[in-house]
Each structure stands twice: as structure tokens, then as C-alpha cells.
Structure 1
Amino acid sequence: MPDLTGQLNRTSSYATSFGGLSDIWRCIWHKNGSNTQVAVKSIRSQALDEKDVKKKNRRLLRELKVWSRLRHDNIVPLYGTVSGFGQFVSLVCPWYDNGSLSGYLESHSETLSIIRRFQLLSDVSAGLQYLHSCSVVHGDLTGSNVLISSDGRAHLSDFGLSVIAVEFVGMSYFTSALNGTVRWIAPELLAIPEEEGATAIPTPNSDIYSFGCILFQVLTGKPPYYEFKRDAQVVVAISLGTQPSRPELPVIFDHHWSFIKDCWSIKDRRPSSQQVDEYIKSQLYFLQHDTSSPD
């Protein structure tokens, strides 16, 4: 995996955006005489001694090596790593001008047709199935970790990083959920572990729950649990077994709502990523060939 240290220039003195556990920098990569816009993601952490930093960097690089080998149209490519943006090595990926799925839906929700929405969902389901076929669990599938390219395609990013970030910062999923991802996290990951110090580990089943939340978000233009303004309220709702409520508007067709509920069922009864991808693509095919459906 290439070390791009010394090949990047920051476009500003400060990070462009801040995630729950990381910072994003917009940079220019000087490559073979041309300039390419890239995003540099650095994992935030508390102060560590040099020995601990080296140990965690080795762990991070092992995980990133898996990402660097992945090749799929709906997976954000990892160009390499870079030092100098924090205590740990940082990731270098393409810069997506259309930003995240959440931001894209906020900006375009009024104009997106049902076909266009299912095209986005088809991209997400295809990327997720590919990850699972490579024995990779995403672990943090949210509207912020799906990026939209200039041609309007959706690409999955940051898979596997949530577990590392939680380890590095030394917190549980329950605590990290309050950093803005709780609306997409499977309930079993928020359960208080029986053993002290143990932490819940994401699985393909928990990814499917999160996909159900993405499906909800794309069809409605609203995040799951939109009726609650604060994430702490969402945590309480999940602890009580309350699932996101079905909005009156926009209308979600019964068969789509039924499939969302399947994704939110108890973990052993959720569909596989292959079944999810087949369902989404069958719905897209039907919409594209239904003469009564709006474009």
C-alpha cells in the first residue's frame, strides 16, 4: 500500500469536516505531473505514548491492507496512507464533490424520482454484497459513510474502521453511538456486554439492519428516528425496543416497508446481503419497466 507522505498539499489549515471519531482534510495529490483532489481521513484519539502509537498503527495498517485489495465500482478505493495528520497514519481516498448520501438527500430529495432512489440503493446493496463476499463486515453503514460521485453513483466507505476507532479511543459502541451513528446501528451492538470490558462486534447481520435504515432514509429523505431530535432520545427508544416509525408522507409502499422490517427483525432472521441485492435490483427493474411509474 503506497505511502503518499510528501505528495499531498492541504487546501486549508483546518480539517474540512469532522466525523464522530475522525477528521477529514481536503488535499491535492501531486501525481505524475497532475493534481488530483483527495480526502485524507485521520482517526482522532487521546494522547498516547510512542510505543502504543506504533502498536496501534500496525493494527490499523493490517486492516487498511484488506481495504486496499478491494476492487468494485461501488466501493471507495483506498489510494494509500499518509503521515502528519494526527498520531496515526491517515487514509487517502478520492474526494467526492457530491458529499455523503445524507447531504445528497437533503439537497436533492424534492427532485429525486423513485427510480433514481432505487438506483442509489442498488449501488449500496451491490457494494455491501461485494464486501460480504470478501468476508468483510462494514460495521458502520450510515448515510455519512456512503459517498456520491459526480456521476451520481453511490460508493461505500470506511468499512472496518468503526471497530478500530472504538478500540483506539477506548469506548464502547454504546458510547460511540452518541457521535451521530446511533440511528443506523443494530440494537444488538448497543446491548451492554455481560463481561466487563467486552465490546460488541459488528456482523453481516448488523450490516443488514443498517441497510434497512439506509433503505428507509433513501425512500423518505429522512434519517431513521427522524421524530427524535437528539441521539440520546434514540438510544432510549432502542433500549425500549422501539423501531423507527413509518411516516405518513412521503408514502412508503407496503412491500417496501415489509422489506425494511425484515432487515430490522431479530438478527438471525434478517435477509442476507445477496437477498437484499436481489430484492433491490428486482424493484429497480420493475420500476424501470413499469409504464405507469414516474421517471
Structure 2
Amino acid sequence: MIRVFIDGAAGTTGLEIRERLAGRKEIEQITLDDATRKNSKKRKEALNAADFVILCLPDDAAREAVEMVTNPATRIIDASSAHRVAEGWTYGFAELEPSQAGAIAGAARVTNPGCYPTAFLALVRPLVRAGLIPVDFPLSYNAASGYSGGGRNMIEEFEDETKRGHTRTAFRAYGLGLAHKHVPEMQKHARMEHPPIFLPSVARTYRGMIGEVPLPLHALPRKPSLATIETALADAYKDSAVVKLVPADDTQLIMIEENAGTDRMTLRVFGNAERGQARLVATLDNLGKGAGGAAVQNLNIMAGLDPVAGLVL
């Protein structure tokens, strides 16, 4: 039996994690009621009484919570973006490298990946590792997320007609200044010399995500074929129960909601061999493998449990 405290359990990601942990006999959840969850003393007691703490908080609050943990036996999973490029934290994307799950298993401090970087890194990192994409190659990344990715404020903005700033838009682009907070995370963990050009957007769907990396194969030094790209990705995830490469059909219509409500991620390689161009496409749930599902997967790995226990695959 392990004791788990979710700090921020009332938020969007916290609720997702609670749902995945509910009913699991090997896990005891430490909970605080509405009257005490914002009480610093009670929170500190809960943080230090837990074997594992999962932080589902804004960045500054997550940093503050880490400082409150004085029990050396308490291990932390941070679902915020506060520590994704910080020294001393293990990056919690188990499929990122062949040794990543082992690193997570032995870590005291694990930082959950962002939803957007999860798709980008799944598509790009194996190709960089294989030498098919040079570390100094200019990349771009186009991605759209369900509006739940923006947390409670954005959910209300899309759903609550009485809220100031309510929108009826179907789709909108943002991050136009090319300074999105996820970019350093993508650059660091892909091990690229230059940040990718990131084109994020939000769509009128509660959950789901689609991310694309276009590749001019003819401009890459090794001029890899579509089959070579596909083989490299297939090899990278051949043993994964969570990330899968599936055959691509040019007649397919890939929907943002394809993996909504699950904790899996699906990859495809589309392209035109004659033109030497490829479209690498990933679909996932921004609240699943992009947030709550990843946190539960990391918890399982750290606790020595079945890595996919409690996940919807």
C-alpha cells in the first residue's frame, strides 16, 4: 500500500488523476476537504505524510509546495511546468529514451511533460537519436488542443456565456510571439540546438490534441525515405503499450478527438515520396497522456507497479 496526496486535486488535472486512482487497492489517497485544502499547515502535513505527492498547481504554487516537503522519503511528481527544464528533476516521459523508465523508477523528483511537448518529442526525439534529423536542423511544430488544456478559466471562457470574454469561436491560434513556455522544454528534451517554431492553437472541443511536424526529407543530410522514418519510429515504440505507430492511409481524416478519453498516443507518418516531403502526426488526449495519464504512469513506475495500471488504453 502506498500513500498518495494530490495537491490541487480539485483542478482539471487533479480530478483526472483522482479518477484513475479511484478504487485501486494498492493506493491510499490522502485527501483534504474544502475547508482545509488551502490551509498551509494541513497541506504541509499531508505533503510530508505521503509516499508520493502529485502537484497539480500553478507554477509558483508548485515551487512553494516543493519547499514545504521536508520528509526525505516523500517523492514528488510535478504536473505543472515549473520544473520541466530544471536541474535535479527527471523528465517524466517514460518513452522518451530507452533508459527513461528506469530513470523515473529511481527518481525522487519527476516533472510531468507538457501536453504539446509530449507529441512533439514522441515524433522528433527518436529521429534525432537515430541521426535522421541533425541537431541543428530547423523544425516547426503545429498543434491544436482541446480547450480544457487552458484550465478552469479557458473552460469557462468557452462554456459559460455569462463570463466576460466568452467566445463562440471554433478555432483560434495563439502564441504568435513565438515565446510559448513549452518551447524550452521541447528544445532541451529533443536535444536540438535551436528551438522549434511552435504554432499552437485551441479548438472548440473539450479534450483531445493533434500535433504535426512537417519534414522536408530532401533537405535532410541523409535524405531518408518515408519508410526509413517510419521504421525508426516503429522501433522506438515497439515495446510500448501507450505509444503506438499505426499505418498511415492518405485517405484518412485524422480527428483531434481520436484519442480523447484515453491515455494512449497514436503516431502516423504521411508523405509524398516523389516530393521528398513528410507529415509526422500525433494524436493524444491533452488530459490523458498529456497530463493525468502521464502522471499516473509515472506514479506506477516509481512505485514499482504495473506501468499501465489505472490507464485507459
**TM-score bracket for this pair, using the shorter chain length:** under 0.3
Tell me which protein shows more helix as a share of its residues.
1
TM-score for both structures, normalised by structure 1: 0.24
Tell me which protein shows more strand as a share of its residues.
2
Q: Which has the higher contact order (CA 8 A, sep 6+)?
A: 2
